[in-house]
Structure formats: C-alpha cells, structure tokens
Amino acid sequence: MTTKNNAENVEKMYTFTWNIRDFQDLFKRMKETDDHFSERFYSPVSLSSSSGLEQRHVWRFSVRPRGGKNSKEHMSAFLWSYQSDYEREKGLDSRKIKYSVDVYRSAPSDSPGSTPSLVKLKTKRGVEINIFNFFTHESAWGSSEFCALSEIFPNNERNRKVDLVININFFESAQPNVINDGLSVNDSVICKRYTPSLDKYFDNEAYSDVEFSFDCGLKLKASRVVLASRSSYFESMFEGSWKETKLFTIPIEGVKYECFKLLIRFIYTGRLADGLDFDILMNLYVEAEIRNLEELRDLVSSQIVCHHRITSENWEQYLILGWKTNNRVLKEMGLKYACDNWDAVKDTIGMQRVLSCGVTTWVEELMLTKLFGYKSN
C-alpha cells in the first residue's frame, strides 16, 4: 500500500506501507540470514515535477527475522534499490535519497472484543540520506541490528501473534533557494562542523587578515581564525611552521580562482553550490583531498555521482580520480563503464590517458576487468 502524506510533515513525499501478518510464524520458520522481501514498489522522483510513471524509483524492502550471526537478538532490515528503465536509458547508475523507516507492532488485546493495539517500536536508524549505487554492495542500505526482538516480542512471548506494519517514508528533496553564486541554502547539506554559517563575513575585507592571490590576478580575502578553527590544514599553515605563516598575500598556484573560492566558502558556511560544472567538481575534489576536507570531498563526490552522467568522453576521469584518491565509488563507476562500453572507449584519448598513467597496478586492474568482466568489490 502506498500513500502520499503532506499533512503531517510538509517535507514527507511518499510512504510505502508493508504489512507482515503473523510475524511470529515467519520468525519460527526462517533460519539465520534468511531474508523476507516485500513486493516491488515505486516512489515518485518528485511531487513537484511533471515526471511520468516511467521515471519512478523502484524498490524492495527486506527483513531478516533472526538477524545474523552477530545480531541474533535483532531483526535486520534493508532498503534495496533497482535501476528503472528510465535510469538505464539515461546511464544513471545511482540515486541519492532521503528516507526513514518506521516499524509498528500490532498485537491482539487481552480484552475480548477490543481492537488490536498499535505500538511504534524503537529502531536504530532515523532519517537518512544515502546514495544507492545499483551495481555495488551499496545498492542496499540498512542495519543488521535494526530492531531488537524484545521490542517485537514483549516479555519474550515469541509464540504470541504479532503483525508488523512497516512504513518506508521518502522525503522531497528540498528545492534550493539561491543566493550569491548559486549557493544552496538547503539545510540538509550543511555540515554541522561548519556551523554557524559565517557567510556574511566571507571575502569581507573588514573581517580579513589574509588574502590569496591567483594566476588570473584575482584575490580572495579571509580570516586566519576562521580558517584555522575549521580546518587542520589551514591551522598548520598559520601556526608558524610554514613559509606562508607570516605572509599577508599567499599565492595559490595552479588552482583556479573559482575552485578555491568554493573551497574557502565551504569552510565559512558548510555549504556547496548546486549545479556545478563537471570539471570544477573534479578539480574541487582534488583540492578537498589535498587539504584534508573530508566533508567537502564527500559532498563533491555525491554531486559528481548524482548529477553528472558518465560518458565515453569523461569515464577515465572517474577512474583515474578514483584510483588517485582511493574513492571506490568513482573507480568502480569508471571500471564498469569501460567494461560495458569497451568498443566505444578502447580507441579514445581517455584510454590513452589510462594506459600511459605510469601505474602498472591500475592498468592491470582495468585489463582484468575487461578480461573477466566487471565485478563489484
């Protein structure tokens, strides 16, 4: 059963309800690691869009009544993603979703003639934002200790009739409000480490005691205190052991002004602009990696995966960047694309870049993928 629900929570987009009747029988019959799956169900891409049924997201939900070897006193639960025909046609190998799962126990009352009671159970997961990669182990997200059996069977009465009602809630991706430079003010992408936002002090001469210069001639002003307090990289730069420590103007060579500005703005606000160009994102990922800004690196990686299509013209950038930075998702996307589209990429400049990279193990991995086929790690 599926329901739209905007009254209780304006952010909630869609709810799929799965009823598991006589869970106690399921619990008795199934072995450890046995999964019980729902039927396939569908969620809309967005309530605010005019997308048709063919663009709906495809899912299944599963429970493992007896958990696993290390979680025997818990019910495991997982949300599984499946690539839709539309996603396949568009070359989309992943989707980013905000969702939550609620579990209710329905048990008959001890009083004759009264209606069964419905009790919300405690679970180990709340509202989450995850990237589902269809062709890796990240095609499903969940927990092996999702709900304790003591919640499902009060007083350990495991022979008593229990029905479970599971709601999988999908949330609307907030439409970003746009301010300077197209910056999204969607609170869901604000990294808490970088709060409160100091946007009004960003590139503000009145609150700056250092500036960065670029090959293009532009300069960017900043505060040493802000940068050092929110970044270990800049803390090391300003504490006295680097040559830049006492400089007012610090030259930034080989980095585009637009890229470095996004990096500094992220430190000030914890936010990243939406709709960034693919090349800018690739460069920004490298800069975030160099400067040990893990939160920014992860946000950039999410934008690359979710908003840019891998093609025969850019596949090697995913692959090489994945190798260089040990990003498994980007690497596997590149390997899979090369394996699935070998005839289209074997004679490209991108293939020449990969083969001439100078790292033997990288080339071997690509050749083994071609020889034996793509297998997710």
Share in percent of the chain as helix, strand, coil (round to 5): 40, 25, 40
- CA distances (Å), 32 to each of 71, 77, 103, 304, 374, in order? 10, 13, 21, 38, 30
- What does the alpha-carbon distance between residue 140 and residue 121 come to, in Å, rounded to a whole number? 22
- What does the alpha-carbon distance between residue 335 and residue 195 come to, in Å, rounded to a whole number? 37
Query: pLDDT for 107-130, tens place per residue?
Result: 665 555 545 567 889 888 788 888
Pairing verdict, β 36-37 and 57-64: antiparallel
CATH number of 309-372: 1.25.40
Q: How confident is the model at residue 295 (pLDDT cuts 50, 70, 90)?
A: confident
Distance, C-alpha 343 to centroid of its chain: 31
R_g (Cα) of the chain, nearest Å: 25
Higher pLDDT, 290 or 53: 290
Q: Is the pLDDT of residue 300 over 80?
A: yes
183, 260 contact by CB (below 8 A): no
- What does the alpha-carbon distance between residue 108 and residue 89 come to, in Å, rounded to a whole number? 48
pLDDT at residue number 8: 40
Pairing verdict, β 117-120 and 94-107: antiparallel
Q: Is the pLDDT of residue 263 over 50?
A: yes
Domain boundaries, the chain: 2-171, 180-306, 309-372
Q: Which CATH class is domain 180-306?
A: alpha beta
Higher pLDDT, 194 or 264: 264
**2-171 fold:** 2.60.210
- What does the alpha-carbon distance between residue 201 and residue 226 come to, in Å, rounded to a whole number? 10
- Segment 201-212 mean pLDDT: 94
- What does the alpha-carbon distance between residue 222 and residue 213 come to, in Å, rounded to a whole number? 11
Query: pLDDT for 151-195, tens place per residue?
Result: 999 888 899 899 999 999 998 754 333 333 444 334 334 455 666
